Amino acid sequence: MQRYSKVALSSREPRPVVVTCPAKIEVRRGASATLVCSISSEVQYTVVWYKNDKRLAGYSEENKKYR
């Protein structure tokens, strides 16, 4: 004899991703700049940074210095 249970399922679309990053920044040669990218997401995301229109190599740390 098989037993069955009633189960209620519900689903929803994930909330929209909210990204706050600088679109473009210019810094004098030799000066420092701090770039901050804040992301609020329920789904996995990837952040990609560019310098002089070239993609910066991947990194495993949160903070990275480029020259």
The residue that leads in pLDDT, 66 or 24, is 24
20 forms beta bridges with 38
**What pLDDT does 62 receive?**
59
Q: Mean pLDDT, to the nearest integer, of 13-36?
A: 81
Q: Do the Cβ atoms of 35 and 49 come closer than 8 Å? A: yes
Cα–Cα distance measured from residue 39 to residue 37, given in angstroms and rounded to the nearest whole number: 7
What confidence tens digit (pLDDT) does each residue in 25-65 have?
Answer: 888 988 888 878 788 888 887 777 787 888 877 655 556 66
Q: Do the Cβ atoms of 12 and 6 come closer than 8 Å? A: no
Q: Is 0.85 surpassed by the pTM of this model?
A: no
Give residues with Cβ within 8 angstroms of 35, minimum separation 6. 21, 22, 25, 49
Task: Tell me the pLDDT band of 5, cut-offs 50, 70 and 90.
Answer: confident
HSE-CB at 24 with a 13 A cutoff on CA atoms is 3
